[in-house]
């Protein structure tokens, strides 16, 4: 037996892992002996699976087993490997089973093809004629040419022998239905052409009306999506009469252009605002990053507190810059927190004026939040909640440090 234990490991708590290309996977726990004994136990389980695969492979290659049965066994073993409590070369066995699955599938296909060859040969010609007739019935618009071809198909049909009665009857029903369907479609085509054009005009007038209504919307995302859908519907709709089609298209396109022009102007203004906000926040960060926290941790903490309000008031920034700013802000907060922690450790809790000051700041932040809620100002509520959470975090860290 191969040394399957090389594909496993046992942690100090007895958890057993198997190594795979996708990473280590837990397969069990071993508490009854040494790690080596545990690995050997789970490796024997893997060896049992390998033996079973060997047997399936031998029977498949010798022809002693039915290929479809072998394929079922291979799929079962492959499924078991995903959660098997074993230690061994899982990836290698998976690859082997996949090769066996391909071989079994190939042999099963050959057997099936052999059984079907006689029936396929007998049905091939009539089936092809039926399918051609159905294609003509569904899609043909060259009415005279298609009608002549259906007559030729009928003559060919009558010359074919050897199909069993039941199957022949089923195919004949399909052919007759196709021929009748073509006849009806050809008769209806010219009678309905004018009606279709009128219906197309009505449908496009509805699309134009909706587009013109949406042209003044400020729901940018949903309206843009709906206008795109309307364009798709326009392209899918049949054409109206030439003059009506052109007139409706000019109105439809003008409505779309009006909306997207306004959206572009608004987005440009918003981008400019976000860029200005970014510059404000970069300046705030640069000021904080320049503070010597080791020389004056209290001053640094006060400066951070003042900066928090300015930070929230600065507003949103371009999405691509937000993550970088947040990382720099957290780094500044952490640097000041560490410096404060070091300073507070040198002062008894009852004598620590910073703790008293921070508790006062928390109380003040709570009052500010209540005033914002009373005013119903969502922006102020959000800013007050963020400021309160930050102050509570600093107070909790300070109290723990003391």
pLDDT at 346: 61
The full DSSP string for 117-167 is HHHHHHHHHHHHHHHHHHHHHHH---HHHHHHHHHHHHHHHHH-----HHH
Which strands, in side-by-side order, build the sheet including 23-29?
8-10, 15-20, 23-29
Domains of the chain by residue range: 4-115, 120-193, 270-348, 350-401
- In terms of residues, how long is the chain? 402
Confidence of residue 118 (pLDDT cuts 50, 70, 90): low
CB 267 within 8 A of CB 320: no
Confidence of residue 348 (pLDDT cuts 50, 70, 90): low
* pTM: predicted TM-score of the whole model, two decimal places: 0.32
The long-range contacts involving 184-187, CB below 8 angstroms and separated by at least 24 positions, are: 185/137, 186/143, 186/146, 186/147
pLDDT at 341: 72
Average pLDDT, stretch 20-42? 93
Which has the minimum average pLDDT: 75-84, 105-114, 347-356? 347-356
**Most confident of the following: 208-217, 269-278, 289-298, 305-314:** 208-217
Closest CA relative to residue 56, chosen from 41, 86, 78, 40: 78
Confidence of residue 176 (pLDDT cuts 50, 70, 90): very high
**Three-class SS of residue 306?**
helix
Measuring CA to CA, how many Å separate 150 from each of 155, 182, 307?
A: 9, 9, 84
pLDDT tens, position by position, 210-225: 888 988 888 988 999 9
CB 36 within 8 A of CB 5: yes
Helix axes 319-344, 297-314, angle to 10 degrees: 160
Look at residue 360 and tell me whether its pLDDT is greater than 70. yes
pLDDT at 401: 64
pLDDT tens, position by position, 54-101: 999 899 888 888 888 888 989 999 898 988 999 999 999 999 999 999
pLDDT at 281: 80
What's the distance, Cα to Cα, between the start and end of the chain in Å?
Answer: 62
**Most confident of the following: 146-155, 196-205, 264-273, 303-312:** 146-155
Closest CA relative to residue 220, chosen from 185, 270, 168, 146: 270
């Amino acid at each position: 037996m191969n040394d399957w234990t090389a594909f496993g490991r046992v942690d100090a708590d007895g958890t057993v892992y198997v190594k795979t290309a996708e990473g280590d996977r837990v397969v069990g726990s071993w508490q009854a002996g040494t790690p080596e004994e545990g690995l050997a136990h789970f490796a024997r389980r893997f060896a049992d699976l390998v033996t079973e695969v060997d047997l399936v492979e031998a029977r498949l290659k010798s022809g002693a087993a039915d290929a479809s049965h072998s394929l079922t066994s291979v799929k079962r073993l492959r499924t078991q490997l995903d959660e098997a409590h074993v230690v061994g070369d899982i990836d290698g066995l998976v690859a082997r089973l996949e090769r066996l699955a391909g071989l079994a599938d190939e042999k099963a296909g050959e057997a099936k093809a052999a059984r079907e060859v006689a029936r396929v040969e007998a049905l091939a010609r009539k089936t092809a004629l039926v399918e051609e007739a159905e294609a003509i019935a569904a899609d043909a618009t060259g009415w005279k040419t298609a009608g002549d071809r259906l007559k030729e198909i009928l003559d060919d049909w009558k010359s074919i022998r050897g199909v069993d009665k039941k199957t022949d009857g089923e195919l004949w029903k399909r052919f007759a239905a196709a021929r009748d369907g073509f006849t009806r479609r050809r008769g209806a085509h010219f009678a309905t052409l004018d009606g279709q054009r009128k219906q197309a005009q009505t449908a496009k007038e509805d699309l134009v009306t909706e587009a013109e209504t949406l042209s003044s919307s400020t729901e940018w995302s949903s309206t843009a999506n709906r206008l795109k859908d309307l364009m798709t519907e326009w392209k899918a709709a049949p054409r109206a009469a030439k003059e009506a089609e052109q007139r409706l298209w000019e109105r439809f396109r003008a409505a779309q252009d009006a909306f997207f022009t306004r959206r572009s102007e608004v987005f440009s203004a918003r981008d400019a605002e976000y860029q200005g906000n970014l510059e404000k926040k970069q300046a705030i960060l640069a000021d904080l990053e320049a503070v010597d926290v080791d020389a004056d941790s209290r001053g640094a903490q006060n400066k951070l507190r003042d900066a928090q309000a300015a930070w929230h008031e600065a507003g949103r920034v371009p999405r691509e810059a937000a993550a970088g700013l947040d990382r720099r802000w957290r780094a500044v907060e952490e640097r000041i927190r560490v410096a404060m922690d070091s300073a507070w450790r040198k002062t008894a809790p009852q004598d620590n004026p910073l703790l008293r000051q921070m508790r006062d700041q928390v109380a003040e932040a709570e009052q500010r939040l209540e005033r914002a809620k009373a005013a119903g100002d969502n922006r102020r509520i959000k800013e007050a909640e963020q400021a309160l959470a930050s102050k509570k975090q600093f107070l909790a860290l300070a109290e723990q440090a003391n």
